[in-house]
Structure 1
Amino acid sequence: MLDFRVETFLTVCRTMNFTRAAELLHITQPAVTQHIHTLEKQYGARFFRYQGKQIFLTEAGQLFLQTATTFYQDDQHLRDAIRQLGTRRSIRFGATLTIGEYVMPPVLTGLLKEEPTLRLRMIVENTKELLRLLDNGEIEFAIVEGFFPRQEYESLSYCIQPYIPVCAPSYTFSRPILRLEDLLEERLLIREPGSGTREVLSRALEDHNLTLSDFPLITELGSLNVIKKMVCAGAGIAFFYLPVVQEELEKGQLREISLENCALSHAFNFIWRKNSTFDTYYQDIFRLFQTEETFRTKTTE
């Protein structure tokens, strides 16, 4: 069972404020301070340092945070596993928008056909929010397109997807399009800051010594479907993972923009907390999801 003082430490780390942590834990501030001092004495290191009225993690505190977060997530998983003994199996996970809306539906349908009593809960959020939910034990694992700190999470490559620029079939370009930089004069429709697809595009542009600010005409939208509809209507260009626009490409509602110097792709990663006691469980779930993904891919070829 997780030491209650570790939970106090994690709450302080989330708030970086002893008073706020005490309020959330419904205990006194001196009790919070005592819990932290007990842990520091037990491990022989200071976990926090003060700079004025602000507190910051020490190097030892950062190391303890990584390990304690995994302890906490494992504790939540263990509690769930014990509650499920003799009952229906449950899987709680998160996925980023592209994966959740365009990759997971047939995979989850296949899982439910194989195991009709399976309880599934998928939360669709951006990578940053999914990492928070994972650290808090609210989900067991996540499948993400965005970037994450690999020193804190184990990962397996779920699949690699082409990342392509598209436009309407009748779209007229300002100039002949041969290279990535030839697109700079077009209106670019993109997701909001913080989204995985936007971050992937930003890094791809950096590889060509470009940035998003080099596009003078940018429209930010929080919905992939809205972006698709606007691109289909000729409002501009956009970059999508292939599964997102596969149907529109096949129906002739969109066309891929061919570029000589730009063949982009990106991995979708299956992640969980590093050094988890339940590594084998997550690897088994990964193989289960991969089996359905492989079967789905073969039946659609």
Structure 2
Amino acid sequence: MRFTLRQLEVFMAIARTGNVTRAAGVLSMSQSAASSALKELESQYGVLLFDRAGKRLKLNEYGRQLRPQVEALLGQAEALETTLAQRQTPGTLKVGATLTIGNYLAPELMASYLAGENNARVELTVANTRAIVDQVLHFELDLGLVEGELNHPDLEVSHWMDDDLVIIAPADYPNADQPLTDQQLRQLPWIIREPGSGTRQAFDRAMQGLLNELTIRLELQHTEAIKRAVRAGLGVGCLSEITVREELELGLLKRLQAPQRNWHRKFYFVLQRHKYPSPGVSTWLELCRQYPLQPR
């Protein structure tokens, strides 16, 4: 075996940062040492892994083919090092979650995970489905928890749990107990999530056939902003039942019914198919499958 793990670490760091200097900083080594490691790796096999554009390095086609294998190998090496050192913690777990999951489900999952893993750390990234999937694809996250449906050859996507969207209206909305017809849905002013979010994807699917006729008053990136706008009387919204349960129970919002439309959707686990799953990932997934959680 002519390559070293350090050379592979340098390769991955440059692939992520696009710059030798930044990669060297990530690995706590000098720029010259990082540059030499890359040159040695390329010269040993007579290949070029990056396209050079000034100080910017971008993976070429061969480098892109190699990256998943390097990522998997380094993941296995890290797991082996943990075993040899007889550590009892899985280290830092990088989790990505969409806004609904990240703000309303992930905090409880994090608390349970940290309670059961001494000295463990969780880095939580909260963004819309499109952004989380992109970071999982590029090995920046260990796993993603998303609301949107997707299909990609480099991703493992599996069902986690079910969810339902609800139409919400101000507390003084009249006749909230009467089901809305499609004609009434067309006439309502809507406040909804932005394109690229899982909630918006589910809303668009539920409103299939009516979308071009709806009055979209506002598109907002945050659930709380939508709830506040609805409470202020600016229109009706459509959000996950998980996110509005408290406001509905307190009477701050009203739930409207449109039973002729399908408001059901699913939450998913997303893993990079070529990334070695750490013990922390397995523990986190098991906690998710046990949701709602019991005290640990």
Same fold (TM over 0.5): yes
Where does 1:1-301 land on structure 2 (aligned, <5 Å)? 3=5, 21-25=19-23, 58=61, 63-71=65-73, 81=82, 85-90=86-91, 92=93, 93-112=95-114, 115=116, 117=118, 119-126=120-127, 127-134=129-136, 139-171=141-173, 177-179=180-182, 182-205=184-207, 207-208=208-209, 210=211, 214-278=213-277, 282-293=281-292, 295=294
Q: Deviation string for 1:46-102 (max 9, x for gaps)?
A: 98899xxxx8965x66544444444455556666x4698435454522222211211
**Paired letter, 1:161:** D
**1:230: how far off?**
1.8
Helix, strand or coil: the match of 1:248?
helix
Q: TM-score, normalised by structure 2?
A: 0.70
Q: Report the Cα distance in structure 2 between the residues aligned to 1:90 and 1:189, rounded to whole angstroms.
A: 41
**Paired letter, 1:143:** L
The answer on whether the counterparts of 2:109 and 2:287 sit within 8 Å (CA) in structure 1 is no
Q: Report the Cα distance in structure 2 between the residues aligned to 1:39 and 1:193, rounded to whole angstroms.
A: 47
Helix, strand or coil: the match of 1:197?
helix
Q: Which consecutive residues of structure 2, in runs of 5 or more, have no partner in the other structure?
A: 25-30, 53-57
The count of corresponding residues between Structure 1 and Structure 2 is 279
**Paired letter, 2:186:** L
Q: Report the Cα distance in structure 2 between the residues aligned to 1:84 and 1:292, rounded to whole angstroms.
A: 32
User: 264-273 or 277-286: which moved more?
Assistant: 277-286
The answer on whether the counterparts of 1:94 and 1:125 sit within 8 Å (CA) in structure 2 is yes
Q: Which consecutive residues of structure 1, in runs of 5 or more, have no partner in the other structure?
A: 297-301
User: Closer, same or farther in 2 for the Cα pair 1:120/1:281, shift >3 Å?
Assistant: closer
Helix, strand or coil: the match of 1:288?
helix
Q: Deviation string for 1:143-196 (max 9, x for gaps)?
A: 2223444422223322111122221232369xx8313x6423322222344433
Helix, strand or coil: the match of 1:184?
helix
**Paired letter, 2:188:** E
